[in-house]
Amino acid sequence: MRQSIEWMVGGQQGEGVDSTGELFAKTLVRYGYSVSTYKQFMSRIKGGHTNYKIKATDTRNYYSGDGIDILLCLDKETLTKNGVNLNEGAVVIQEGKEILVEVKQTDHGTSFTEFTVPLKKIATDLGNPLAKNMIALGISAGLVELPVEVLNSFIEDIFAKKGEKVIASNKEAVLKGVELTKTHVSDQINALSVVPVSDQLFISGNEATAFGSLMAGCRFLSAYPITPASEVMEWLSDELPKVGGTVMQVEDEIAGICFAVGASYSGTRAMTSTSGPGLSLKTEALGMAGMSEVPIVIVNSQRGGPSTGLPTKHEQSDLNQMIYGTHGEIPRIVLYAATIEDAFYIAAEAFNLADKYQCPVIVGLDLGLSMNKMTVPSFDPARVKIDRGKLITDEEAKEYGETHFKRYRFTEDGISPRPLPGMPHAVHTTSSNEHDESGYISEDQTNRIQMMRKRLEKVRHAMIQEPFKYDDNGGETDIVLVGMGSTYGMIQETIKQLNEEGVVSASHLHIQQLYPLPTDKLEPLLTGKRVVTVENNYHGQLLQLLKQHMPIHNNAEAITQYDGDPFTVRTIAKQVKELISWQR
Site for another protein in 51-90 (CB under 8 A): none
Q: Are strands 200-204 and 373-377 parallel, antiparallel or unpaired?
A: antiparallel
Of 274, 431, 533, 568, the one binding another protein (CB under 8 A) is: 431
Considering the complex, state which of residue 200 and residue 533 has its C-beta at the smaller distance from another protein.
Answer: 200
Is residue 357 within 8 Å of residue 293, measured between CB atoms? Answer: no
Q: Which is nearer to another protein, 26 or 510 (CB)?
A: 26
What is the footprint of another protein within residues 481-540 (CB under 8 A)?
Answer: none
Q: Do residues 432 and 292 touch, judged by C-beta distance below 8 A?
A: yes
Q: Are strands 479-483 and 270-274 parallel, antiparallel or unpaired?
A: unpaired
Out of 439, 485, 518, 540, which residue is the one contacting another protein (CB under 8 A)?
A: 439
Residue 165 host element (H or E): helix 164-184
User: Measured from the CB atom, is 238 or 501 closer to another protein?
Assistant: 238
Q: Residue 490 carries which side chain, given as an amino acid letter?
A: M
Contact 314, 566 (CB under 8 A): yes
Between 145 and 355, CB nearer to another protein: 355
Q: In terms of Cα–Cα distance, which of 41, 62, 26, 47 is closest to 137?
A: 26
Total residues at interface with another protein (CB under 8 A) = 73
Among 194, 441, 449, 452, binds another protein (CB under 8 A): 441
Q: Which of 7, 38, 112, 211 binds another protein (CB under 8 A)?
A: 211
Q: Which is nearer to another protein, 27 or 492 (CB)?
A: 27
Q: Among residues 388 and 469, whose Cβ is nearest to another protein? A: 388
First to last CA, the chain: 43
Residues 49 and 55: their CA atoms lie apart, in Å, by 20
Supply the minimum distance, in Å, between the C-beta of residue 338 and another protein: 19
Residues within window 370-429 making contact with another protein, judged by CB under 8 A: 378-379, 381-382, 384-388, 404, 420-429
Residues 215-274 contacting another protein, CB under 8 A: 215-217, 219-220, 222, 239, 241, 243-246, 248, 250-252, 254-255, 258-270
Q: What are phi and psi of 40, to 5 degrees?
A: -100, 130
Provide the minimum distance between the beta carbon of 270 and another protein in the complex, in angstroms, as a whole number.
6
**150 binds another protein, rule: CB under 8 A:** no
DSSP string, 542-564: HHHHHHHHSS-GGGEEEEE--SS
Amino acid at 246: T
Amino acid, res. 40? Q
Q: List the one residue from 113, 190, 280, 430 that touches another protein (CB under 8 A).
A: 430
Q: Which residues contact 441 (CB under 8 A, 6 or more apart)?
A: 431, 433, 434, 435
Query: Near another protein by CB under 8 A, which window of 35-43, 64-72, 439-447, 477-485?
Result: 439-447
Question: Sheet harboring 506-511: ordered strands across?
Answer: 468-471, 506-511, 479-483, 530-535, 556-560
If the CB atoms of residues 287 and 483 are measured against another protein, the closer one turns out to be 287
- Check residue 348 for interaction with another protein (CB under 8 A): yes
Please, what is the angle between helix 205-215 and helix 230-239, to 10°?
Answer: 40
| 292 contacts another protein (rule: CB under 8 A) | yes
